[in-house]
A and B are shown apart, each in its own frame.
Chain A
Amino acid sequence: MDTRRGALAVPKVRRVGFFTSIEPPPESSLQRPNRSQSGPVDATTSSSPLSDSPSGNLISPVLIPPSRHHSDNLTSRVAAAAAAPVPVPGPAAFRRYLTPERTLLHVGSYNPPDSLLGTSSPSSNGGLSEDSASLFGFQRSDSTKLSASLPNGGFDLTLAVRAPQESETKIATTSASQGKKKIAEVSGKSESATTKPQKEKEPKALKDKTTKAERRAIQEAQRAAKAAAKGEGSRRADESGRANPGKAAIKPQPKKERLPVTSSVSEKTAVAVEKEKRMDVPQTQMQYDDKSRVDKAKRRAVVEQTESKNKVELFLHLPQYERSNQLPNLSSNFFTLDSIHHAVYKVGLQHLAGDISGDNARCIAMLQAFQEAIEDYSTPPMKDLTMDLTAKINGYVSFLIECRPLSMSMGNAIRFLKNQIRKLPVNLSESEAKSSLCSDIGRFIDEKTIIADKAIVQHAVTKIRDGEVLLTYGFSCVVEMILLYAHEIGKKFRVVIVDSRPNLEGQKLLRRLVTRGLDCTYTHINAISYIMREATRVFLGASSIYSNGTLYARVGTSCIAMVANAFSVPVIVCCEAYKFHERVLLDSICSNELGKCFTRSSSCRLFIYLNQSFFACVKNLQAILTP
């Protein structure tokens, strides 16, 4: 959306490669209106049939928007193509990923419907883009997306590589469709494009809300240009054939070591992906201003929740409940909730009461409770273990959600568990199945948290040099381990613990570090700009990292990172791989957990403000982690 941000961004994050195999290209339903609005432009493209537009013939930037509309039109033609002539559809945005320098546009999709997949033409270029998808972990979804929405998606890749400016114009027009102020930028950036006049004309026409006649004139002009470009296009198609391998050679270079990992991961999980998509219960976001869905959820609810009286309008889409009532309500229902295993119940209570906080601990506690519940489980007669156990786990999960919204890591763990249940061989006896599930859970805990933490600690300790002042925010168990380990191996450093209300988790950390003999300074976040002068390195924990590099962490984290950036202090974020999530949030108040004073955690966009060290570090850590 914001081109300025995009320009600042660093592309390396996307290499993390955790998500290679997860979701098909996201496509926002929000974007469809845009596409349908581009009807007038479509008129030109719809005149040229699909078969007429082979991948090669659309090179000049002028022609690309029409062709895109063409394919878009397939899906959106049903919707009345009318209204404001917004020329550029959503998918253009994805192209930004293709330019190496600009990777950080938020793809803006929450729930990817796959409707567009059907429109992808099985051209060789489409296949190419698939290849590149597996090459560039993060880009995968986007490029497949491209190939989906564009018959010549693969070709666009090469185009982007060759002529960044051209693709830039495309991006700019995207933003033009959303905000007119960007148009100045558009015109500036499309300078080098060959068909600049038309390109310019289009947004301008848009801007002025042109009459039908004028629009028609534009279309005519475009059609003419397209015809002219056809010859040129075929020539360039050859070029693209050459360019592709070249690009593949250029781009993956820094990622070569990642390749085997991502591909193996993708193979492993590829089968489950389709099912997972459907089974992905914990992660569906409910919009709490949607009355009917809220009512439905209420009827299903295990725990009675009273909505808070004075709701904050800004957070209407988030659950706003009276926190004070939840605990007594839940605990007085102790004996009535028969369906919930008591271990799960205990964990739920502890989450609700705040006895357990911190992502790792919550996730581990939950998994251990599930382990216990599975051990006590026995399949009722006439029922299938897989089905029944999944239903049971679902019940537990919804109970836990009502106690406290799940963290991403818990969501991932639940998904893992359900997947394991689904993959149980049919011929296993019940006790075998149960023990295999329990050992799976145990392995998950070991591999994803403990070994991952150890790896992070081992690596992060190398970043600490003698005499450094390390700043940390709140409480993160990995950061604590790093600090303690570094102290243990005799590094000389000082710790600054920055804390913030309401929970003041930093105090626990402070207490423990001081008892271990570390030199600590404790301050509140108000003083961050003063204390940052002393710091030489910032260590942060994260609740989750989203696929666009956004960090989801305790509220205030982005503030710390920004200040660190302003003082040119390197920031290192420590996050286990199982906390990664393919979701992308456009806004920092999309899926927050609201605390007592509406300040529990919020997603913050760290990526813009972080300097290179952060990404380098995350990349490395990740490389160690992925099994």
Chain B
Amino acid sequence: MDFQVVILAGGFSSYLVPLVAKEVPKALLPVANRPVLSYVLDLLESSNLKDLIVVVEGEDAALKVGGWISSACVDRLHVEVAAVAENVGTAGALRAIAHHLTAKDILIVSGDIVSDIPPGAVAATHRRHDAAVTVMLCAQPVSGPSESGGSGGKDKTKKPACDDIIGLDSLKQFLLYIAKGTEIKKDTRVKKSILCAAGKMEIRSDLMDSHIYAFKRAVLQEVLDQKPAFRSLKQDVLPYLVRTQLRSDVFSDQSNVEENGNGNGKNNMQNNEVVLSQILSNASMPSFHQVYESGLGTRKTHKCCVYIADESKYFVRLNSIQAFMDVNRDVIGESNHLSGYSFSAHHNIVHPSAELGSKTTVGPHCMLGEGSQVGDKCSVKRSVIGRHCRIGSNVKIVNSVVMDHATIGDGCSIQGSVICSNAQLQERVTLRDCQVEAGYVVCAGSEHKGETFARK
């Protein structure tokens, strides 16, 4: 279909400290005991997209990601891992790999999404409208534990209500305005020409930019070349394209070439072509772009389209610790079709090699990785426990994620926390809404609430 797929897998995200570390770049964070990148790859593979470019920030991270990819799916996919310098931003990363891009359109997917929205939909919308850029929007996920989980809901700090402020035209096809909710303090400016041309603008704060974009390659490269200062796709490139959609600079070269080509043809032929294009354009409802273009003659426009995902689809970006918790909970809970595991009759997954002590209960929506040992009289609810963990007896784990090789002593109580790999909890530790860095040792008998344990 003449599409190239670029996965922006990031590097060591600062938002996710202490979950990410030197050993675990963001793309390899385990979600239900699989790296989050595998969800993206699965999603793309299910859409028959097998030629992928994965862009990773930093050589180290790239090595790790590349290593994992080659071990996991070298047989199924053709993946190219490209390392770019750290802190160049998404736009910088694309600039760095620009010479790899050859197809007509480029699908850019963030490497940290867990979703079941088919990426083909955004590509199809892109093609249908012949747009310069198409953005997938989806409904804001409900953050915090679900209502049924309930226990720790009250003290969760809810995320700011709106991430993105998005302006759409009346048919919800075109993007007229986009800004980050946090950037807008009191007021904002909207292009008058766009507003006049479109007639109506619908401003939505319940939608979220999903970081899945389809770009026309020529447009993208043009913008990246023209504006070397642009660092981020979402914060620089996309708003720029949206802002300039009625006075497009990016198409100027191409259209000149086209006009020259037409001029050489015979007069009669050209006349026919005019009629032809008229027939074609008359057949469809003109978008406001076309109306505007015809009104002003020489101005070129480009279209910024949106694809609004169905609300029933699942979509979460793993860009915060809260999101990490949510994703883990959802993937083994409500949206368990994403995980790719088959669930037992009790709605949980207990690996056959896991050992359970007597009187230990593993509730629904739980996952126990291979080789893990759980002592007697334990209770595990709505939690993910990684591989080869050792958990003592009388331990209570609720709404938590315990990564591989963690050790938890007897009598611990863990709620809403993340225990990274190789961390150690000594006896009778009580944790609530805490994150424990990889390899950290929490002293016996301590009681913590809402803390982050990391080596300084």
Binding site for B on A (CB under 8 A): 328, 330-338, 342, 345-346, 349-350, 353, 355-358, 360-362, 364-365, 445-446, 449-450, 453-454, 477, 480, 508, 512
Contacts and interface: CB of A to CB of B under 8 A. Distances in A.
For chain B, which range describes its interface: under 10, 10 to 19, 20 to 34, or 35 or more residues? 20 to 34
* Interface pairs A-B: 8 shortest CB-CB: A361-B283, A334-B120, A331-B124, A332-B118, A358-B283, A334-B124, A335-B47, A336-B48
B120 A336 contact: yes
A480 B124 contact: no
Contact of B284 (A334, A361, A449): A361
Given A335-B1, A446-B272, A450-B272, A512 B282 contact: yes
B196 interface: no
Interface of B: 1-3, 47-49, 118-121, 123-125, 127-128, 130, 272, 275-276, 279-280, 282-285, 310
Identify whether the interface residues of B are mostly helix, strand, loop, or mixed.
helix
B127 A342 contact: yes
Given A336-B48, A342-B1, A331 B280 contact: no
B119 A335 contact: yes
B276 A365 contact: no
A623 B49 CA distance: 53
Contacts of A362: 283
B284 A364 contact: no
A364 B283 CA distance: 11
Contacts of A360: 279, 283
A477 B283 contact: yes
Nearest to B268: A446
Contacts of B283: 356-358, 360-362, 365, 477
Nearest to B275: A450
Contact of B276 (A345, A356, A364): A364
Contacts of A345: 1, 124, 127
A360 B280 CA distance: 8
A502 to B, nearest CB: 14
Given A334-B47, A345-B1, A355-B285, 15 more contacts: A331-B123, A331-B128, A335-B119, A335-B123, A336-B47, A337-B1, A342-B1, A350-B284, A361-B279, A364-B279, A449-B276, A450-B272, A450-B275, A480-B282, A512-B282
Contact of A357 (B2, B124, B284): B284
Contacts of A349: 124, 127-128
Interface centre among B119, B121, B282, B283 (most CB of A within 10 A): B283
A477 B279 contact: yes
A450 B275 CA distance: 7
7 contacts: A335-B3, A350-B128, A353-B128, A365-B280, A365-B283, A449-B276, A454-B275
A477 B283 CA distance: 8
Contacts of A454: 275
A361 B282 contact: yes
Contacts of B279: 358, 360-361, 364, 449, 453, 477
Contacts of B3: 335
A363 to B, nearest CB: 10
A442 to B, nearest CB: 9
A346 B284 contact: no
B125 A331 contact: yes
B4 to A, nearest CB: 12
Contacts of B121: 328, 331-332, 334
A346 to B, nearest CB: 5
Contacts of B124: 330-332, 334, 345, 349
A333 B310 contact: no
Nearest to B124: A331
Contacts of A357: 283-284
A349 B126 CA distance: 11
Contact of A346 (B49, B119, B128, B275): B128
Contacts of A331: 118, 120-121, 123-125, 128
B1 A358 contact: no
Contacts of B1: 334-335, 337-338, 342, 345
Contacts of B130: 346
A358 B130 CA distance: 20
Nearest to A503: B285
A508 B285 contact: yes
Contacts of A508: 282, 285
Nearest to A338: B48
B310 A328 contact: yes
A336 B45 CA distance: 10
